Structure 1
Amino acid sequence: MIHSIIKDRSTKLFLLLGGFFITNALLAEFIGVKIFSLEDTLGISRANIPIFGQAFSFHLSAGVVLWPVVFIMTDIINEYYGPKGVRFLSFLTAGLIAFAFLMVSITIQLSPSDFFRLGSDVPDANAAFRGVFGQGLWIIIGSLTAFLIGQILDVVIFHRIKKVTGEKQIWLRSTGSTLVSQLIDSFVVLFIAFYVGPRLQGAVDKQWTFSQVMVTGTGNYIYKFVVALLMTPVIYLVHGWIERYFGKSLAAEIKNSAMSKVNE
């Protein structure tokens, strides 16, 4: 009876966390095409500090709004369902993102109706649709590669820290693994999408310099770093809710099961 309760509640929680995880990752991919100025958004002056031979400023992909949430969700799923649960959701999410972009690329090729052209306030609605949803192939490849590498690193670092801390210091294993994985994620996506990709395509005129990649990646990481630290209380709130949902004994059994699978 107890095991059936555990299985039922555990499955429901996995679906809830997994659904939230996948939704945030998909949204982050689609809104990531927009680049925004953090300083202008906050109404503050740009620092323009010279680094890597360029003036540093926070020009960020809108996806950074959601990616810290994705990595925190990774740690919570990791805590209760172990590496297998995270890997399953990570590869499922990557497949769904690829499928979503495939469907979008097909819809971009559809001839727009006159109703679509005339019924929009945008002068060229179809061009706007293509511009927003039609991300380049190398951006997609870079994003998916960075996502999978970041997820794998997050899982490994999380459990190595947990082996040392045990059930204590949730913030250390969650925030620590997130900060390392996001460091890699922030640079890999830019390096593939804007440095390697254009060079392989022969589109040298669209290729970023190494300095541009480093400056933009640094800004993205600093933002993610700060947000990850600020969201530490959220991790405790979610953990507290899950503990109440399962009850302490059931929660402990599920977490011990997740750790035993790591040590197998």
Structure 2
Amino acid sequence: MINEWLWLGFAIINFAMILTIYKLFGKPGLFVWIGMSTVVANIQVLKTIELFGITATLGNIIYGTAFLATDILNEKYGKSDAKKAVWLGFFTLITMTIMMQIALQFVPAESDTVQGALQTLFDLVPQVALGSLAAYMVSQYFDVWIFSKIKNKFPADKYFWLRNNGSTMVSQLLDSLVFCGIAFYGMPWSVWIEIFISTYFIKFIVSFLDTPFFYLAKKMNVK
């Protein structure tokens, strides 16, 4: 059970860090977090762990925090700022990918000890990279859109949970479908289904856990 408890603590730390950066820096802090989280998530996702009896990737927590950040922006500042944040995350991810591909082309010195590790982390697998980029844009834009739709239909404060959970859980389902559909295209159907279900299961839990932090962010008097 050590992984499960560590994972839960890790999730709480991630969500607490969002509230901290938001409290200290306001709206710009959320923009910075979204750019950072998209990059870190794509590094952490390379590590697999045993969690709740299934094999899962580690990056799902911090990737899920990007959805919380855009929900906070959408709730408190509007749809336009949320969309801007989505594009910022996309540009950050593209920039990191390009820069690291160039960095890997440099011939390392004889004394270098990290080239192999960098290649393991950043060597581009086109199908996976395309799946990651497509899933991010499709799911994040959908999250902004459906959050706004729910907010317009149910504007009362008592529907905070519906805006947050409804938009994020559906968007994460779409994210998993797009990513797995592209990145793992050609795999045997039984293996593909197992990866898809396990991926979404973890993302669903993350979406559920972020709800109290969404409420706390809403109550913060931050410009």
Bucket of the pairwise TM-score, normalised by the shorter protein: 0.7 to 0.9
1:109 aligned to which of 89, 105, 108 = 105
User: Alpha-carbon deviations, 1:201-250, whole Å to 9, x = none?
Assistant: xxxxxx42232222111111111112211221111111112xx235xxxx
Aligned-CA RMSD value: 1.6
The answer to whether 1:155 aligns with 2:132 is no
Q: Partners in 2 of 1:95 and 1:211 — Cα distance?
A: 34
2:175 matched to which residue of 1?
A: 185
Q: Report the CA distance between 1:59 and its aligned residue.
A: 1.9
TM (norm. structure 1) is: 0.70
Q: Report the CA distance between 1:159 and its aligned residue.
A: 1.4
1:78 matched to which residue of 2?
A: 74
SS at match of 2:177: helix
2:121 matched to which residue of 1?
A: 132
2:130 aligned to which of 129, 138, 141 = 141
1:245 matched to which residue of 2?
A: 222
Q: Aligned pair count?
A: 198
Q: Partners in 2 of 1:132 and 1:37 — Cα distance?
A: 20
Q: Report the CA distance between 1:14 and its aligned residue.
A: 2.2
1:220 matched to which residue of 2?
A: 199
On the 8 A contact 1:60/1:220 being kept in 2, the answer is yes
The answer to whether 1:167 aligns with 2:156 is yes
Q: Of the two, which has the highest radius of gyration?
A: 1
2:41 matched to which residue of 1?
A: 28
2:12 matched to which residue of 1?
A: none
SS at match of 2:199: helix
2:59 matched to which residue of 1?
A: 63
The gaps in structure 1 that reach 5 residues or longer are 1-11, 40-45, 47-57, 118-124, 196-206, 247-264
Q: Report the CA distance between 1:105 and its aligned residue.
A: 0.9
TM (norm. structure 2) is: 0.82
Q: Report the CA distance between 1:110 and its aligned residue.
A: 1.4
SS at match of 1:115: coil
Q: Partners in 2 of 1:181 and 1:245 — Cα distance?
A: 27
User: Alpha-carbon deviations, 1:14-40, whole Å to 9, x = none?
Assistant: 21111112111111112222222214x
User: Alpha-carbon deviations, 1:44-92, whole Å to 9, x = none?
Assistant: xx3xxxxxxxxxxx22222102121111111111112222212212122
SS at match of 2:26: helix
The gaps in structure 2 that reach 5 residues or longer are 1-24
Code of the aligned partner of 2:135:
A
On the 8 A contact 1:187/1:214 being kept in 2, the answer is no
The answer to whether 1:38 aligns with 2:51 is yes
Q: Report the CA distance between 1:98 and its aligned residue.
A: 0.9
SS at match of 2:187: coil
Q: Partners in 1 of 2:164 and 2:219 — Cα distance?
A: 15
